[in-house]
A and B are shown apart, each in its own frame.
Chain A
Amino acid sequence: MADEASLQLQCQLIRANTGQNRCSVSPSVWKYYLLIPTGTYPTAAQLATFNTYMQSMLINDDPLLRWHLIGSLVGIEDNSEDQTLYNYQDGSSVVTRDEIYRWALEHRNGKCYQDNLIDFNGSEGQYQVIMIDKSNVMWGAAATDASSLPTIAGATMSRHYAGPFTVATYSDPSRFMVTIEISDVTQLNKYGRQAQLGFNVNTMKGVQSVVLDDLGSANWTTGVLNVSAATACGGLNFVTEFGALIADTDAWVVTNSVTGGTIAITTATALANGSGFALDLDQADANYPTSGQGVDINLVSVSALATLGVKYYEATSITIERP
């Protein structure tokens, strides 16, 4: 039996047919790509309402589950490698390694955006990629969901690398490139799958990072702390942009930096001079820091901020120590 199986493998007939369908589908130039946490993908049902599902994943509260939409892309350099051949002495050859996709994709979203992409360098193991072309078709790897229904997963990347910007000259602007390498091209070919998107990807929103800063005038006797909030890219001041919405005790979370216990906020004020927000903490709260402790201050989750009308932002907490 083992010999028979071995014989079939060696002498396997080509089982493909080449009759043509009226509708042929070919990828057009890449316009966007999606970074999806490895091993996660939409179910067939989620694919059917992909507009809603994709947006929800782009703003997922959990950074480890969040998707990232990169683009729009304005250029591509195809640096893919041809197959590797071994040439016999009689002139015949055999393929020893298949082609490798390697695309240098260009965007014009600016340096800060590029800096964020650089943070994804070396994350090939954590993310898989779905490409979206100019015709609004997404291309990924064929997958089957838990209900045995067909769906699309990301292709495995062997490299995702964003480099430093190239400097502008009198003839060229500064340029921002990111390279995607897919060593197993079958994931987008024989074992690939595509789906036509019925919505404009350009309408999708991602999460922006927010930087909080201590304005340095904490009054531990009265429980008043002052912090500024601005987007990491562009420095959009949250007071001027969202003052009335962020002046809300529901927009902030303050915890004891030692115990982790949540401290009640009695009022949140958007300062009239635009410098930041005053947070009045409840000194009667059991978690209010004692000398030597401090507070961790953060904005609430992406979804909680969205509920307040602030879409879509995520801050990194800051700690203010109490002397």
Chain B
Amino acid sequence: MKNIKIKYGKTHVGINKEHMMSFKTEAEYLKAMEGKLTNIPEPKRTEILKEEYGKLQPAKAEPAKKG
């Protein structure tokens, strides 16, 4: 499953997880998403993107295990 699935009212959204993880910082990701996902009104739109980006960080920061 490459997508993060969210629902806002009647709006269903699939967010590309790989694309999100390709950004080193939340600010960079939010910058890349400017003008996108506009079917969700602000400030909810940014809240969702920040929240979902944040959720991915532990997995992203987890060091590769050896053995």
Contact = CB atoms under 8 A, between A and B. Distances in A.
Interface of A: 219, 221-224, 243-244, 247-251, 264-272, 278, 280, 282, 284
A261 B40 CA distance: 29
A249 B34 CA distance: 18
Interface in B21-61: 32-39
Interface of B: 1-3, 5, 7, 9-16, 19, 32-39
B11 to A, nearest CB: 4
A267 B14 contact: yes
Nearest to A244: B12
27 contacts: A219-B35, A221-B35, A222-B35, A222-B38, A223-B36, A224-B38, A244-B12, A248-B14, A249-B3, A249-B14, A249-B16, A250-B2, A250-B3, A251-B14, A266-B15, A267-B13, A267-B14, A267-B15, A267-B36, A268-B13, A268-B14, A269-B11, A269-B13, A269-B39, A270-B13, A271-B39, A278-B39
Nearest to B33: A266
A48 to B, nearest CB: 35
A265 B11 contact: no
Given A250-B2, A250-B3, A270 B12 contact: yes
B16 A265 contact: yes
A272 B11 contact: yes
Given A244-B7, A247-B13, A272-B11, A266 B36 contact: yes
